[in-house]
A and B are shown apart, each in its own frame.
Chain A
């Protein structure tokens, strides 16, 4: 709880700093504040894992929510480190920028620790509304405006479904509380059809927020139109949070065998579609950022595996996969920002010859791509490995084979940028990589390799 308060107060403090033109203090204050919040998060860490819910069952801080909150805060921290000198270039309202990101983070932490569906909805709305604004924050940029409008329209549309789903669940069970809903499922002889409809509508709402096919249409356009930093935030922290919410709802309330027989096939279809559309479409993309957008759809497909093979191991699988995906994406977006800043656009050709001119950047980007593709000794491999093991242990053999084939397609487009960097030559100057970027790149790369070599220390966290 103190985390939510801290970050909210931090956001307001940053807003005031902006008011008093203390532009230089914005980033340091934000970063320090996030560190404090991170420390407070671990207050709730409990080895016995038997934390009670608070505020009349509205929120529940257990190890699960601590882990996901910490991941969200650390990712935000890294992304904000990439923002030095970035906001000033694209917008005059720097303080608002930081503030809104912090508000989004508040929503995310609520999402990671809700125990009541009304809190889920509030969290998602706090996050979404912040994101609508962030997407369109380049006020004079048409692409940014268009992306914001599209995101808002479709987001509003899907939020309706989520809310309707929650309502139906409430209508059948008589409660918003996750435990109460589980009790309803366990105690009632025949579950009301309204409840099933509620499940379907919640799936739709959450899948939209996560960007699963066929509710993914907003992602490529919005990711491309939004400022790159915001894209990084959306495709990593936001996705992770939505999956935390997904997992919590389904694991606590909807995991009975009869219910699983109902919703698992739905998720199998959505996961397959996401894999197919994400991977296949990414193949033909000529721009790095758009490739990342499509590839993020496919990663949603992999993440859905943890729900399809729902068990007590699902939370660490999602956590590990999300962590791997997040840090690898942060490297990719950081590299993208460096290239974009210098060259102005992000077609694959602009990465030609980077291996010779910027060996560090090229190396870290290569490791990030290998991790996203799921090559052994990187975190991404461990993530995929856990997902596939789970799916196989619940006998989803066909789905796993399909996913492996898709992973092969993934290797193709991820390695394209590596090929461009190392095997294609181009006349180019060395790109200037700011110190902050170097720190983020190196830290994330090390984390990718450490998790890849020794996954135990993070997988056993939850």
Chain B
């Protein structure tokens, strides 16, 4: 089946073409069915590939399709690489993608752009699959850009709202900044290694000594690309705004799949990063800083999707922390479990929003437990999972990351635990504000409250089940497991693990670390319970004066404003200057001057054609004489 891996991206592409071309003819039911079916087919193929790879002795398969670019010594084949890493990503993308497609058939049912929505969604899946399947940086880059495009299209899906359209542009532009870094990194890889194929670059890189300046530069550039796509400092501000898109989009693109592309890319290039410890240090610091920054913003947000968005940024920070301390498996583990519970939480939030007639402010919710029982229970599971409380999935992946962090640096570990406590706090805050106490919305909203249809609740239930059991694929030895995921991914990270070595903590320390982080999470959850459930505290209205810290957090540390002042304004000024002075006056002057000069020359030359045959022959003879003179002197 591995040889037929091209089927996996082909199905969504076909779906995109059918739905996209027939968007005005196809009934909604058909468009939704085709959209979901194509992804389901891809998922089925992905499972077959996974099973075959699991039992196969050879763990890396290159499946060439055709030679795409052949120029000089640059040869870029369009080929796919199937190995444990891409096989895992295939399952995440198509599996969760399928659930979200099904969910969307219910969620988007009343939307006029239903077919358009599904065509974009299928296109996104196609590009995401290219990204994870490409066997070289160029194919990966196509996917990388393609998912960015789809993200843009879907954030601005309701483009008649100009704020949403701006959010889409913001996401696209911020991503472009990162993409530039990625692209230059790719050029540099070609310049250094003479190839862009993973299978040729990585073995060469493995022979280099650590701290090679080129490697450091390449990895920093790649990391800049990752900060754009995966919303890290300083390029993270687009992700909260991206919540303008329909909620299934937030779940699929801005939580489960696309935003983890940066982590995937670094995990894929792990050997390059392992040999550049300086870059890894930067990655770890940026990761933990982002995790804390986003977590502290999330604690005061009142928009249910904004809370989840900052939570996503924060969890992505944890993944980068994991990469930074060399815990590549831990990072991919967290990608997987996060995909389960964050998709679940977003879809649950979507179910709430759906029931609340598009109300997203938690101050207007409350007491939804009875009205939306399935949504409540599944979101409760998601909240426990993300808070890192055992035995739910988030516990295992977060524990693995923190254990590696502890071994790497105790300070980072302390910060990590603090971040985890924040996580538990704001998540339970969200849960209590939404589902407990009395309903605070309008009477009309209360009248409309209803549990979502089956197409929406079934994906919730499936994802909840995965959030519960998903962590069991990575039970550490200390808890009596043998960490299947780590063994499965071992071939991908082999070169790195040889250099970094395994976890060397003794059992006592490991138990202690687990105990501390679980206790922290439980305490944070209890505080949230006391404050928002028992004491029935409701966040203040927008215009009420807050304390300094709360204000900073509520206004997201004014980072957007700072960017606007420090970057956008000067750029706009510079742009205005170039437009008025350099372009309009200088360049246009020269260009138009040349045009006018040509026209004038034309006016003059035209007169030669007088219509007088005597003059013609005179000119000819002049030419002939000139030629003969030339001949005379040059024989």
B-binding residues in A (CB < 8 A): 150, 153-154, 157-158, 161, 193, 196-197, 200, 203-204, 208, 214-215, 217-218, 220-221, 262, 265-266, 277, 280-285, 409, 412
Contacts and interface: CB of A to CB of B under 8 A. Distances in A.
B602 interface: yes
A200 B631 contact: yes
A412 B598 CA distance: 10
B602 A280 contact: yes
Contacts of A215: 620, 623
A223 B80 CA distance: 59
Contacts of B634: 262
B512 interface: no
A132 to B, nearest CB: 14
A217 B613 CA distance: 9
A283 B616 contact: no
Q: Report the 10 A-B pairs with minimum CB-CB distance, sorted nearest first.
A: A284-B602, A217-B616, A214-B623, A283-B602, A281-B605, A200-B631, A196-B635, A193-B635, A280-B601, A280-B602
B613 A150 contact: yes
A221 B617 CA distance: 14
B605 A277 contact: yes
Nearest to B623: A214
B603 A266 contact: no
Contacts, number: 71
A280 B628 contact: no
B598 A283 contact: yes
Nearest to A215: B620
Contacts of B595: 412
Nearest to A150: B613
Interface string B622-635: 11100110110011
B606 A281 contact: yes
Nearest to A203: B627
B480 interface: no
A284 B606 contact: yes
Given A220-B609, A281-B609, A154 B620 contact: yes
Contact of B598 (A158, A161, A220, A409): A409
B609 A266 contact: no
B622 A214 contact: yes
Contacts of A217: 608-609, 616, 619-620
B72 interface: no
A277 B607 CA distance: 12
Contacts of B630: 200, 265-266
A183 to B, nearest CB: 21
B599 interface: yes
A285 B624 CA distance: 28
A161 B606 contact: no
A104 B135 CA distance: 62
B602 A281 contact: yes
Given A203-B627, A215-B623, 9 more contacts: A158-B620, A204-B623, A208-B620, A217-B619, A217-B620, A262-B635, A280-B601, A280-B602, A284-B603
13 contacts: A154-B617, A208-B620, A214-B623, A217-B616, A262-B634, A277-B608, A280-B601, A280-B605, A281-B606, A283-B598, A283-B602, A284-B602, A409-B598
Contact of A218 (B602, B616, B622): B616
Given A197-B631, A284-B606, A214 B617 contact: no
Contacts of B620: 154, 157-158, 208, 214-215, 217
Contacts of A282: 602
Contacts of A409: 598
Contacts of A218: 616
B611 interface: yes
Contacts of A158: 620
Contacts of A204: 623-624, 627
Contacts of B619: 214, 217
Contacts of B623: 204, 214-215
Nearest to A200: B631
Contacts of A221: 609, 611
Contacts of A265: 630
B624 A161 contact: yes
Contacts of B622: 214
A300 to B, nearest CB: 14
B601 A153 contact: no
A324 to B, nearest CB: 25
A196 B602 contact: no
A150 B615 CA distance: 12
Contacts of B628: 197, 200
Nearest to A276: B605
A280 B598 contact: yes
A433 to B, nearest CB: 31
B319 to A, nearest CB: 45
A197 B613 CA distance: 26
A197 B633 CA distance: 12
A71 to B, nearest CB: 29
B602 A154 contact: no
A250 to B, nearest CB: 16
Contacts of B631: 196-197, 200, 262
A200 B605 CA distance: 26
Interface string B504-525: 0000000000000000000000
B593 to A, nearest CB: 14
B387 to A, nearest CB: 58
A218 B595 CA distance: 28
A150 B611 CA distance: 9
Contacts of B599: 283-284
Contacts of B624: 161, 204
A215 B608 CA distance: 13
A395 to B, nearest CB: 20
A221 B615 CA distance: 13
B621 to A, nearest CB: 9
Q: Which of A161, A197, A208, A283 has the most CB of B within 10 A?
A: A283
Contacts of B602: 280-284
A153 B605 contact: no
A123 to B, nearest CB: 23
Interface string B98-112: 000000000000000
Nearest to B613: A150
A69 to B, nearest CB: 31
Nearest to A278: B605
Contacts of B609: 217, 220-221, 281
A415 B617 CA distance: 33
B189 to A, nearest CB: 30
Given A200-B628, A221-B609, A283-B599, A157 B617 contact: yes
Contacts of B601: 280, 283
A411 B624 CA distance: 31
A218 B612 CA distance: 10
Contacts of A153: 613, 617
A330 to B, nearest CB: 25
Contacts of B598: 280, 283, 409, 412
Contacts of A283: 598-599, 601-602
Contacts of A157: 617, 620
A204 B631 CA distance: 13
Nearest to A217: B616
A274 to B, nearest CB: 12
A154 B616 contact: yes
Nearest to B614: A153
Contacts of B617: 153-154, 157
A232 B21 CA distance: 43
A280 to B, nearest CB: 5
A281 B600 CA distance: 10
A208 B496 CA distance: 75
Nearest to B595: A412
